[in-house]
Amino acid sequence: MTQIAGILLAAGSARRFGAPKLLHALHDGLPVAAVAAQSLVQVLPNTLAVVKPGDHALIKVFTELGLHIVENPLADEGMGTSLATGINATAMADGWLIALADMPWIQPTTISALVDRLENRASMVAPVFEGRRGHPAGFSSRWLQPLRDLRGDKGARDLIAQNPDALELLTTEDAGVLRDVDYPHDIYR
């Protein structure tokens, strides 16, 4: 069996939200980031969260859920640096499932299906809901160096776009793969 690592990216700035969105409570009272983390850890206990240095409140939330924590000193340079930081911290993994902490509605069954594809030799994998590609995205160890080299705010988007034949799309009925929290009204829609 392969060792797939979960990486939860949680070092964004939340400029559009206007407040620390990852700590904002959802309807059940749990913070956005905690709900996203729970779904990921349920499937991948070997999950780490990449956070901004000194984000003590978020670090506390993730630590209580059993996540490993990695601080990204270059977080202000964009998501690419956070992804590279997480990859570097788990470089010995056979692959990675990269999730975003502002996407709390992804179902554990979707995460499990994506991990299954990675364990069965998918090079890259992403979910598709109603014809639209969503998150999280998975990568085999083949992509170690390109993921380590990421910079900027696109994450792995360009890597996927440049290698369309390597991407396996997994059709899902999980609308959560497209739903994120960018603005306060996103929590209530």
Q: Over its length of 189 residues, how does the chain's per-residue pLDDT go in tens digits?
A: 469 999 999 997 655 555 678 988 887 889 999 999 999 999 999 899 999 999 999 999 999 999 999 999 999 998 999 999 999 999 999 999 999 999 999 999 999 999 999 999 999 999 999 999 999 999 999 999 999 999 888 889 899 999 999 999 999 999 999 998 765 656 766
Beta-bridge partner residues of 4: 95
Pairwise CA distance, residues 117 & 161, whole Å: 19
**What's residue 26's pLDDT?**
87
69 beta partners: 49
At 40 the pLDDT is: 97
What's domain 4-184's superfamily in CATH?
A: Spore Coat Polysaccharide Biosynthesis Protein SpsA; Chain A (3.90.550.10)
Read out DSSP for 34-99? HHHHHHHHHH-SSEEEEE-TT-HHHHHHHHHTT-EEEE-TTGGG-HHHHHHHHHHHTTTSSEEEEE
* 140 and 124 Cβ atoms separated by less than 8 Å: yes
Q: How far apart are CA 104 and CA 177, in angstroms?
A: 9
Rounded CA-CA distance 132/129 in Å is 5
Q: What is the pTM of this model?
A: 0.93
- pLDDT for 152 equals 83
For the chain, domain boundaries:
4-184
Q: Give the C-alpha separation, 126 to 39, whole Å.
A: 16
